[in-house]
A and B are shown apart, each in its own frame.
Chain A
Amino acid sequence: MKKNILYILSILIIPAIVITGCKKKEKDDDHNHSDLTGTNAMRMEFTHKVGAQLLALTTGNYTNANGDQYTVSRFRYYLSNFRFRKTDGTYYTVPSDVNTDFGYFLIDEDNAASKNISIPNIPAGDYDAVEFLIGIDSLRNTSGAQTGTLDPANGMFWSWNSGYIFMMFEGNSPQSTAASNALIFHAGGFKEPSNNIKKVTLTFNGSKAMVRNNISPEIHFIVDVSEIFSNPNTINFATLNTAHMPMACMPIAENYADMIRVDHVHND
């Protein structure tokens, strides 16, 4: 009985697959012709979590890998220098122009709009991975007064030691020995030996972001704040609770290098 059903089904389905498959291929070829000349935006959404929980500023209570409890009052970071990998292995590099902030993003938990970003003019094609920096490249750290997301008035710039703060985490922990039990991690630094720019490469877990004239894919990222305090360095808030110089931030930066992961991709 089962066999019969399978047999019938296969008779029905195989030609259907082949036919629609062929049709699809024709359709794709048609599309490719126009698609490859088109562009669309790549949209990216960032969801901030602490382990499995959603990040809640000031109200959320969390525990780090060392067993220290903490709350979060501020969480911001810069992303820049995006490159998208096509399935053929070539890359599309998002251009930059030193006169604008195009391609430089300041993501801020306290600013919902900042967690949805969009990069226009991505050539049509199938993409399977993304590369970017957590931080700001050395050129923009040494190019003088900038604007938009790179405006020093955004509070992510060190006035006394020129350069951007790449990741700003502020909060409290009863284990912190700093004044008011504060946790203050302002991580930046673009020069060796304390270069805290972290290059991140993430595949889309086998999915594709299919940029078409009429498709602007959206990549959903999860940013896990708990990663700032673990892997490879387990942070003990009794001994490391404030860091706002490039070298002092290195353990934190080594940790935040893997705080971002791709959750899923939409093509709609």
Chain B
Amino acid sequence: MNRLIKSLGWLLIPAVFSACSVDPDLSPAPLPEEKIEFVIPQGFPQPVYNFTGNPLTTDGFKLGRKLFHDPLLSRDNSTSCESCHQQFASFAHLDHPVSHGIDNQFGTRNSPSLFNLIWHPSFMWDGGINHIEVQPIAPITNPIEMDESLGNVINKLRNHPQYPALFKKAFGSDSITTQLMLRAFAQFMGMMNSYRSKYDKYIRGEAELTLQENSGLNIFRAKCESCHKEPLFSDFSFRNNGLDDVFPSDSGRAHITSLPEDIGKFKVPSLRNVSVSRPYMHDGRLQTLSQCIDHYRFHVKPSPTLDPLLVNGITLSESEKQDLLQFLNTLTDYEFINDPRFKPN
């Protein structure tokens, strides 16, 4: 058997070489994965954003991808979206508790991982942004993130050697507007979808969970599911999960609503790809999933807006915790974090 694999390997190596020896002068034939179309993953609900009014095209997607990776969108051309949203970390900023923006400045919140955004009814930890198309405005214009005005971004794009042609290809018009830029972003971000984890394959009957993972799933469904609802692993509500008992520097949802009942509430994050997108919580204060689970077991702090489901914390034995951690690993979507379609072009 081993020998068979070895000999197959020898046979395949020339294939790899031939794949690499494409004449650089010939424009390569588009890879099959470059064909962009949206299909609702099996078992997923209807998305909130379904590209109505912004028809998804491969060229629109590719333009969005280029914008996402382009530091030109920042004031000093130093910082792109990708600076804080790295694909290998499920588009979070690995090991950065809070976002690290222009001029070496730090924000106040943990830059979230990005995927399945078209199912989100709102964006940001406080839900302040109500539509995927207007989301990019916030980091672009935020003085401690990219600190650029929309007007300047549009001027830079208009005067760029490539963008006018790319806009023309994507939208049939080389007149670059905020609206078209934001629509291109939405096409790219709207296709950054995670639905090929081991968990998904298990749900579709394409893979088996280990005994421990399966036990973890059962524990998850009993103790975590009420907020981290399958299959998106969030109910997108705003909750105070007891990290603090006072909220002097970041009132969370209340920053948007000005309502006292929203103080200390943050959007429930999805747990997909959670194993690869540390650190955790809105301010990135927890470094490991073990610490997160222990927070719910031992450290929930009471306050007037604490979520009623967490008043007594979450009771888990040590072995249940280990099973749960095993299950959370099955939510890592390696095909998503390695998908060549999302890499810079």
Contact = CB atoms under 8 A, between A and B. Distances in A.
A and B pair up: yes
Contact of B258 (A143, A144, A146, A246): A246
A34 interface: no
A157 B133 contact: no
A29 interface: no
Interface centre among B124, B138, B256 (most CB of A within 10 A): B256
Interface in A6-22: none
Contacts of B179: 145-147, 151
A245 B141 CA distance: 17
B8 to A, nearest CB: 50
Interface residues of B, number: 31
A98 interface: yes
Interface in B125-158: 128-134, 137-138, 140-142, 149-151, 154
A36 to B, nearest CB: 35
Given A98-B53, A194-B258, A145 B128 contact: no
Contact of A144 (B133, B151, B181, B259): B133
Contacts of B131: 142-145, 162
Interface in A151-202: 151-153, 157, 159-163, 193-194
B178 A152 contact: yes
A193 B177 CA distance: 34
Contact of B142 (A99, A153, A159, A163): A159
A147 B138 contact: no
Given A160-B128, A160-B129, A147 B258 contact: no
Nearest to B185: A145
A165 to B, nearest CB: 13
A247 interface: yes
Contacts of B259: 193
A161 B182 CA distance: 17
The 4 A-B residue pairs with the shortest CB-CB distance in the complex, in nearest-first order: A144-B133, A145-B182, A247-B258, A153-B150
Interface of B: 53-54, 124, 128-134, 137-138, 140-142, 149-151, 154, 177-179, 181-183, 186, 255-259
Interface of A: 98-99, 141-147, 151-153, 157, 159-163, 193-194, 245-248
